[in-house]
Every structure is written in C-alpha cells, then in structure tokens.
Structure 1
C-alpha cells in the first residue's frame, strides 16, 4: 500500500517540532551522517513509574536498570498515555494517537491507520535494518501489522497481550513456550516470552553488526501485563515471602492482602526478569564492540497495573493523574550523552520519534505533521532554549473521543485535568475540571482553579483547540481502519475478537458477538473456518457479507474444522457470523479467511 508522506507541523504543535537538517531525495528518507548510531527502544507493559530501584522502590529489584540510569541521560518528567495502544501509536508516529485512528485498546480501535508514517519506516528508508520483538498492538492483519509498517524482522504476539482472545489456538495464555508470530507465521517457541524477545533481538543485532548495517531494534515486552499465572518461577519463589507493605497504596484486610501480595510477587518477578534481560543486552552490545554508539532507550507504556508505589504522585494504569501517565525515560548513548545528564523539561511519547530521527540525522519528507519535538539537546547540551509547550493526554473507551472526557493538559507547572474515568463514558453536564500546580502539589491534592482563573481558562481553551485539531486530521477521522483480505501479503487472515466491532454482550465474553470491517481488493473465492473456544452443542452458523447469507451446520464438541466456501465481492464490507447453540446466539472465537 502506497503511503502519502507529507511533512508539516500541526497548528497545535507549531512551535514544538524540532528536527535536524537533512537531505531529501525524491520521496525517500536519506541521512547525512557517516557514523549513524544504532537504536534500541525497550518498552515494558504496565510497569509503573515507581517500579525501579532508582525511582525509590524499596522492594522490586532492578539492578541492571539502576546501573543503566547511572550511566544514561534521564528525563524525569516524561509522559505517556494512560493505556498501552495509544502510547504505542504516539511513539511510532510522533503524533497524538487521535490522529492515527488508534483510540482504544480493543474491539477494532487499537488498529492504526496504515497510511501513518512510522519510526521504523523512516529508519528503514534511511538504510537501517529494523526489527520488532514482543508487543505491537496496532493491528494484527494486513496492512496494519508491524511487518507492514516498516519492520523487516518481526517476532510478536497478537492483540494486546498473551492470554487474550487473539492467542493462537492451542497456545492460549502461554507465557512459557508460547506460539508467536514470526514474520506473519505462527511459530511454536521454547522458553519464557521475555527471554525469547531479547534472544531474537540480540540475534538480529548480531546479524546486523556482521553485515555492517545500522539497526533499529524495538523490544516491547508484554510483561508485567497480566495474566499472572505464568511467571519466571525462580524469581517468583524469591519474592513470595517478601513484605510488599512499603509499596502498597491501600490498607488491605488479611485475605485481600495475601492475594495482593501474591500478585505483586508475580509482577515483581516479571519486572526483575526484564531487568536481567536488559543486563544481557548491554553485555551483548559490549561484546560486539558497539555499545558506545548505540542508543538504548527504556520506558514503560503507562501507569502500573495495580495500586502501588508511584513516587510522590497518585494514580495507576487508565488514570490521567500523573501516576497513570508518567514514565522514566532513560537515554543511553555514551558517544553523545554524558552519564547522569538529567532534564526535568516537559516531554512525552510524541517526542521519541523526532528525537531518534534527530540523533540519526534523518528527516521525513517535507509536509508531514508531527506533534513532538526533539529532546536530544536537553541531554547533549548544557543550555538549551526549551520553549514552553502544552501536551495533552486523553484515553477512554468508546468508538470516538468525547470532548472533556478523561483528559489532562499540561503546561509546566500546571495541569488541568478531568479524571472522569476510563470505561465510564457518556458523562453529561458541565465537566468538573481541576487545576493543579505540580511543582508544589505533585499528588494533586489541592485544586487551585479558583486561585488562578486565567490559567484555568487558558488551558481549557488550549484543550478545546487541541481536541478540534486532532479530530479534524482527516475526513471522518475516527472511522475504524479496515482489514484488507485476499492479498498476496496475507492470503490467510486470522480474524479475532481483538479487532471485531462488538455488538452483543460483553466484548470478550463467550456469548458475545461482533463483526469485522474488511475490504477485498478484488472479487474472489475464499474458505472460511469458524473456531470456538468453549465446548458447545450442535448448532447453526449464519455468515453474512454484504447481505449475502451462507449457512453452516456446526457439529457438537468440536473446536475447529467448521469450514465452508465463501465468495467475497470487491470492495468494503462487513463480515458477520452469528451462531445459534440451544436457542442462544453468540459469535465465533476466531475466524480464518483464506483466499483460494
């Protein structure tokens, strides 16, 4: 699929985008640096801002990340979105996720528009080898897969995490010995998932170094995201008898305390395992002699997945309070960044792409909008003019954003926020906005709206302008992207509940249903297979596409093998499967659509 690559600043970010000078040849990205740095970005999943020894956590052990912190540049006021897919869209594009069509984490709204220009594409087009290992969460089907969006080597899981309805059949919920997707193919693996991602990344780094090619390696772990049943056993045993009281936010009754302590032991084991792998990675870079000129970035994607220590802030995952949207940003580049160089400037996930391109002397073609600015100078120069800016974070459930719902706008030191609740859509009436001076009140305990009405109004108007700007990025801006089927890029499309448009019951419940928005480039014949997760009696399935109905008898007690021919016309269509078991209707667990 051809991409429109037009670079130009958004109105909202008109004074925030700072990119390096470079050369452009035709529509391709090129570079002017002879000694380009390698780039590694590591992002954990649901690890909070306080889950590090260097952040003051007295329980969770992160010695390798503590060592990285000591020898790296550090942004102490770095922000991400409150949930994972929006952060990933912003990181990959340098743009607010509302510009990218990625507005939620499931039911078709974690898919990113394929016309977005990604960091991987920019680096690939500049001659870098590109590889991703772990979590993508921006689309599982063509043309939205990581391998379609600039990554030449890809080892990922589907959906938002292992243990979700997008898992390959027969490998459901397996952190150990998972089945992963290697360049579009399901591959059974041996080992623990985080170890496997780092192993594959280091193999890719070795190959790139042997070829004399610069590389971009994106390691996005699904740990410490739940489920928590399958964790590194030796580390779990070490944490099982630890007192987690020092990092608990709430006072719990004995039974609840025991359950929470066990969960935290599992989360801590996953975090320390990531930490150990970071140590392995640095050892590999030094072994190859490339550590000095390799950028290694570490961050987490949102707040922690339980109510636990977040430093002097409040909040957790899904919250727009600071504890839900803060991350450390470690930037290790010995060739350019002095160990211990720290900045407290207001920075965010939208800044990572322009910063890396700046460091690599790469620029996208003229005319393309980004919202971020390069923070490289904050870490490489003693004095940098860092103009005042505003950054906005908004994440909630639903098919399209709602004005004022669950958002925060920051203009250092101010924060205007409406924490109306992730998953609590549809508020009515006037929003109850709160204003905080974070320099004096990082825990957001004293609303100063009445004391600073001019600041309140300025930020309120700024948010309204931002919302209008991002919402008008393209015509019908919030329409869900469509899965393209029957192309040479993906002849067999696995359609899962991750990307269906939910229409019955709770989205992932056994009795729920939904449909997929697909598009066929041309008319063609397919075979469709229906897959069921639960045991079931005999039933009947009705498959509908563009008002053409196909019926299929479903034998009892059979998970797979329910197949029938299906003809799809060219163009956009809705694929809907309704199954009746014992008088009750539901949808399939997964559908596999294969072009004949």
Structure 2
C-alpha cells in the first residue's frame, strides 16, 4: 500500500529549538509538544543537514532530489520580490520534481505554504507538479498583512492573489487540514508539502497584529523581536501540526501516512543551535544541521534515534522510494533513499555530503566523523564527532587528511556547473544590518 506523504518544512528553525532536540521549555510550557511526540513515536535523526544554509537553494534540492547547484535559479539566494518577471530565477517547469513524479504516479499533490522558487508567469507551484497551492510566492511576508518587504501583497491561491484575514501560520495549518480532509476521501494517495514561514521574521505571534503597520519597517524587524516571541511562534506552528495530525487520526489514516519534519536551514538570531556554532548563511554546523523527524507507524518503530548522515535531497529520494516511484531517466537523483534507515534505525551507510557558497568563499564536506571547511580562504578540519562546536582545527596536525578531503571536494565540485559570475546573496538586507555572531 502506497503511503500518504506530508513533508513539513519550518523556516530558519534552529537545531535545538525543539524540546526533542534539547530545547528548553518556555515560560508558557513546552515549546513543541506535538513534534516532540512525533519524534518519541517515530524516528529522530541527529546528523541530518539541509542542502544549503539559506532558504531558496534548499528548496530547489527538496523539489528535485538533486544538488541545487545544477540549476541557475539556485545559485546562492537571488530569488526575492525583486525577481518578479525573471525567466531565469526560478524552478524550470520542465524539470521533474518530487510532486510532478508523484502526481504522474497517481498522487494528489498540494503545496500549502512558502514557495520561494520563482514568480508567475514563468514559474509557480502549479507548473512544477502541484495540483493546488495556497501560500506566499516569496521568501518572507508579514504574518498579518501577508505583504512582502516591497509592500506588495503576497498570498496566493493557485496563481491568483488571495486576500484572507488571519495569522499566516494558522491559515496554513487550517488549509492543510482542509486538504487532508478532502484528499482522504478521494481513494488516491496524497502528497502534501506544508511549508511554514514560521519562525522566520517578522517576530509576530497571534497576539501581535498591532505590529503589522509599516510593512517595510516590520518585515525584517531588525530592531525587534525576542526569544519569548520567537518560541511562541514555534509553538503556534507546533499547534497547527497537531491539527493536521488530528485530521489524519480522525480519517483513520495516520498509521499509513509518512510525516517528515525539518527546517530549510539553520537557525537565525533568536534560535537555539546548541551545541553548534554559526547559523543561517554559514556552512558551520549551526547553519546546516537541522532537525529531521520521521513518523510512519506502519513502517517506523517508536522511539528510534539515528546518526545516519543525510541532507534534504535524500529525503525527497526517500519519499519517492516509499511511494514506489522512479526518478526520471534524464534527471538521475543525487539524493539517496533513507528507506532502509526508516525501517531499521540501526542501519547505517556511508554518505559524504558536499556544500559550496560564493558568499565568503565557503565550501564544506562532511565525510564520516570529519568535516572539511573553507571560509574566507582559510581551510579547517574538524572531528565533528568529538567537537561539534568546530573549535579544534586539525588542519595543521593532519595535513594528509585535509589534502585528501580537499581533493574529494574539488573532484565533486568539478561535476557541478560553475557558480555564475553574477550570483550573489540578495536577501533584502545588507550584511551590516545583521547582528554579529
């Protein structure tokens, strides 16, 4: 029996923001009781990564199950509200995707939440395999006005603007419940991408509508926010995931639904990344190691913990494998299926992971216990298994290992298209605005 699939992605969530990853309770109590329960009754990964330390490139990898570097639109992070009208900065509609492959195999498909892979008319979720779409096209919007930092309204149903009052996290959760209720009666399996904008800035809880006055000033909110608001935002998302799980149980399909949860990259300024250092924009562990939780009672034993190395595109490959769907022969997957690990948490296999960023000349390779990292022209070598904070640089003490890993990275890089000269990180704010880490 083919499972229903729900792929939930948070935005800028830190490695230790959830209770099940060591996060502390907030003043109001546990921050993430629903996700903690999914981990306790499913499988938690401790060595899982995102394909990029920034949002849009990771989503290219999620959609294609391939390294994002293969596509021009994923070079760094060029896609924002200023990209409207571009015919190059987006996910090409002709490229096979996770939803398009599942759709061709008989799945009903929907994206509820953030797209961030280009703008109509050249690009949209409906042109890349989703039957339905409800959410913002851009990378970040205000939770109440649903406007991007340019001031343009950015909440869509399909390719048509949708004006609907409400706190965005709750709107997404309720729409996800609606899709589950409708799709569960169709007789066909379904694939739901539930991509929250939480806990991405602006720092607004359900009770903060008064903050949503000046959209441009508020969206990046560099002067505002605090850990209390941030944790409440995570809690709102967690509650919404609980609504979705309640809907699955009410329809009697929770056991046969594979639910995967993660973040698109490491945490931002209010995140808890302990014991990792760095965060969003960095190839240090805090920028790319993220929570990964899988829940599927029909196949996954309760309470499992896995140290298997994996990254975003591996999970896309896993979902295809679980559905019995093959890759397009012209677009072989870079992702590797984790299905054997889901069925046996003790199963492990070697999985080298590669990254690169034009920003600060960053590159990284995680292979076994070791990690090769270059930042600002300096090479580092870390024994991550012993030193998760990446403080003890073994580069001078182990020159042969460093040289071998550097050569491995360069051989991999030679298989990827070169980074375009005009590629740059363009997130809508300047580096001087960001707090120093």
The TM-score, its normalising length taken from structure 1, stands at 0.63
Matched, 1:40 2:19: no
The 1-side partners of 2:63 and 2:378 are apart by: 33
Contact 1:134 1:220 in 2 (8 A): yes
Q: Match for 1:184 among 154, 159, 165?
A: 159
Which residue in the other structure is 1:159 paired with? 138
1:138-177 paired onto structure 2 within 5 Å = 138-163=117-142, 172=151
Which residue in the other structure is 1:555 paired with? none
Matched, 1:198 2:190: no
How far 1:56 sits from its partner (Å)? 1.3
How far 1:62 sits from its partner (Å)? 0.9
1:116-131 paired onto structure 2 within 5 Å = 116-131=95-110
How far 1:235 sits from its partner (Å)? 12
How far 1:449 sits from its partner (Å)? 1.2
SS in 1 for 2:378: coil
The 2-side partners of 1:478 and 1:336 are apart by: 43
The 1-side partners of 2:104 and 2:128 are apart by: 12
Matched, 1:95 2:66: yes
Matched, 1:350 2:313: yes
Q: Match for 1:444 among 380, 390, 399?
A: 390
Matched, 1:408 2:364: yes
Query: Would you tell me which structure has more helix in proportion to its own residues?
Result: 2
The 2-side partners of 1:315 and 1:152 are apart by: 38
Contact 2:177 2:243 in 1 (8 A): no
The 1-side partners of 2:16 and 2:290 are apart by: 8
The 2-side partners of 1:185 and 1:285 are apart by: 29
Q: Which protein has greater RCO, CA pairs closer than 8 Å, 6+ apart?
A: 2
The 2-side partners of 1:379 and 1:170 are apart by: 40
Q: 1:67 to 1:384 in 2, by over 3 A?
A: closer
Matched, 1:211 2:173: no
Which residue in the other structure is 1:394 paired with? 356
Which residue in the other structure is 2:23 paired with? 57
Contact 1:158 1:167 in 2 (8 A): no
How far 1:349 sits from its partner (Å)? 0.7
1:280-359 paired onto structure 2 within 5 Å = 280-306=243-269, 308-359=271-322
Q: Match for 1:112 among 91, 112, 123?
A: 91
Q: 1:169 to 1:461 in 2, by over 3 A?
A: closer
The 1-side partners of 2:148 and 2:280 are apart by: 29
The 2-side partners of 1:119 and 1:479 are apart by: 29
Query: Would you tell me which structure has more strand in proportion to its own residues?
Result: 1
Contact 1:343 1:379 in 2 (8 A): no
Contact 1:96 1:350 in 2 (8 A): yes
SS in 1 for 2:286: helix
Q: Which runs of 5+ in 2 are unaligned?
A: 211-221, 430-437
Report how many aligned residue pairs link the two structures. Answer: 403
Which residue in the other structure is 1:227 paired with? 202
RMSD: 2.8
The 2-side partners of 1:440 and 1:169 are apart by: 42
Q: Which runs of 5+ in 1 are unaligned?
A: 1-34, 237-258, 398-403, 421-430, 481-500, 510-596
The 2-side partners of 1:89 and 1:410 are apart by: 21
The 2-side partners of 1:468 and 1:112 are apart by: 23
Deviations 1:474-511 (A, max 9, x none): xxx8499xxxxxxxxxxxxxxxxxxxx99xxx9969xx
How far 1:262 sits from its partner (Å)? 4.4
The 1-side partners of 2:341 and 2:323 are apart by: 16
The 2-side partners of 1:87 and 1:315 are apart by: 18
Contact 2:356 2:362 in 1 (8 A): yes
